[in-house]
Structure 1
Amino acid sequence: MPLNAATAAARLSSAPMMEWTDRHCRYLHRRLSRCTLLYTEMVTAAALVRGGALHLLDHSPEEHPVALQLGGSDPEELALAARVGAQAGYDEINLNCGCPSDRVQSGTFGAVLMTRPGLVADCVAAMRAAVDVDVTVKCRIGVDDQDPEVLLPEFLTRISEAGCNRVIIHARKAWLQGLSPKENRDVPPLDPDLVLRMKRTFPGMHISINGGIASLDAARGFLDAGLDGVMVGRAAYHQPADILCAADRLIFGATTPDTRVEDAARDMLPYIEAHLAQGGKLHQVTRHMLGLFAGRPGARGWRRALSEGATRPGAGPELVERALAEVAAFA
């Protein structure tokens, strides 16, 4: 895939989310949108380099364009992990500088790296030297008592000089002490105007915004305001059809018809059959499908059929057909 393919797809992306955006989720999301950039869950560089956990890189060729997010703070280890990720076929390697969890802080990576822009620059430079695919950073506007107006320009300058030309900015601070990871997604106020000012300050950088974006209309508003990309997190997971089914047309200018969510659900049946044949469990796939019909008549019956039936012995693709019948009854 050409070097700029992931950048083109980054006009709209689905955020990396631990325990959510696994390969089954990404395969589903690709059934809904052909163009949107998809991200893995965060994978630690140590797990790949020291732990040999290469199974964490498993993905389908149909997921492309797809990016691997790495966690870590050792430049040499991140470079090795980035090389492994690129060899596995990922279109982009992203460095996590935004996760506020205690476990991530104890490993000196994630949002705590916002306090060490020089180290982040060293990590980016090492990764950039190791791979030919895009190397990007996902960050916050700052942490704790930092002044984002001062910190963020310095941070962007350092990573840009190190070779990172694309950044995703979660437009709120992370509080490393006193707030849980869940609270860090909601409590600190969003400051999208700061992100817009950073685009004006760094016109040569590809800047995407993340945080609190819940509709395609909101995404288009940020693009119209001058940002290069929009990353959507929880809304893309809990209401994936609302975000992804029309994304190719409304965000990327495609002339093909919008995806019908019923068709996307049925497109999952061969994938489910293959997963079961390899010894997988039905609920590993269908747990990501629960929100497909969110807001539509029959959504409750769809969710109930999947959530109650997917863990039963012998459950298979026919359960999805029965769940679809719950929706069709309201058509």
Structure 2
Amino acid sequence: MIARLVLLALGPIFAFPAVAETYRSEQADFRLVELADDLESPWGMAFLPDGGILITEQAGQLRLYRGGDLSDPIPGTPDVEERGQGGLLDVAVDPDYAETGWIYLSLSARGEGGLGTQVWRGRIQDNRWIESELLFDMQRKTRIGRHFGSRFAFDPDGRLYFSIGDRGAMQRAQDPADEAGRIHRIERDGTVPSDNPYLDESGTPPTALTRGNRNAQGMATHPDTGVIWTHEHGPRGGDEVNVIRAGANYGWPEVTHGIDYSGAVISDRQSAPGFDDPVHVWVPSIAPSGMAFYSGAAFPEWQGDLFVGALRSRLLVRLELEGEQVIGEEWLLEREVGRIRDVRVGPDGFVYLLTESNDGRLLRLEPVS
């Protein structure tokens, strides 16, 4: 059993609203700095080469934080349907942004039958979104406002990965013809890679890379191996960290460590042949969201660790890894800053957090000198 190491706070030194200034963790002391507040339910962030940070707000606004200032919403972005867990969700910057200028957005949008996940790309010029292109549009839309997934990552070949949850209907994750409950992979122009695993299966969505994922809201590329990792929400218990393999089935809802919200049993199996097991499970649920591997220079003690935000438990989790095994877990900032929606490591080596609320905040973890 992995020991849980709870952070000891030293208490506030300077007065940032509801933020204690300095903390001691098991391996590295850090200072917590508030950069921006009054964000409206922020969901995702991405770093531009010049140090700016693009931030999505669930109601549909894309904003830019740069040099201490938070911009007004950038006009021209695609329309979203904000309902339940839907809205404007993740944002990513093209790996070759200096040459291409492309920025990617995931969101929930209305269409025939209801709502579905979409992926767009566009450029920002003169503080306006231009050249908008729809790269992916979920075909089977429903009126359910849950489990849109929507995290992004790029592999070393520059292909774009994104998640779609089961849309609140668990059996969709195992339906071969469905796009829900999966990790998808496309080229950056929206075309389908020739080595996607289900291209030869008639009626199967060609963009699908996996099956059996309940609702992945954390995705990151391992800095050494280039392999994509995700985490996903379980039901009542059973949040998972998974290593993504092309063609793998992660089991939902045929195998799970969780139970239904009603207390009913979903499956009596936690593992079974034909399904890939998670590398880590949380029972009870922490409601994970946002994920980043640490590979910066500011915190050498955290090299190779995996950071995960949590909504329900309102904390930041640090997982120590040995290869693809979790060998240690530390809980940081427990109930100190609220619901952590996204976690990123900046080009400066600092760890950045978004807290989800109507007055959400952009926070930064800096080393204590």
| TM-score (structure 1 length as normaliser) | 0.30
The structure in which a higher percent of residues are helix is: 1
The structure richer in strand per residue is 2
TM-score normalized by the length of structure 2: 0.28
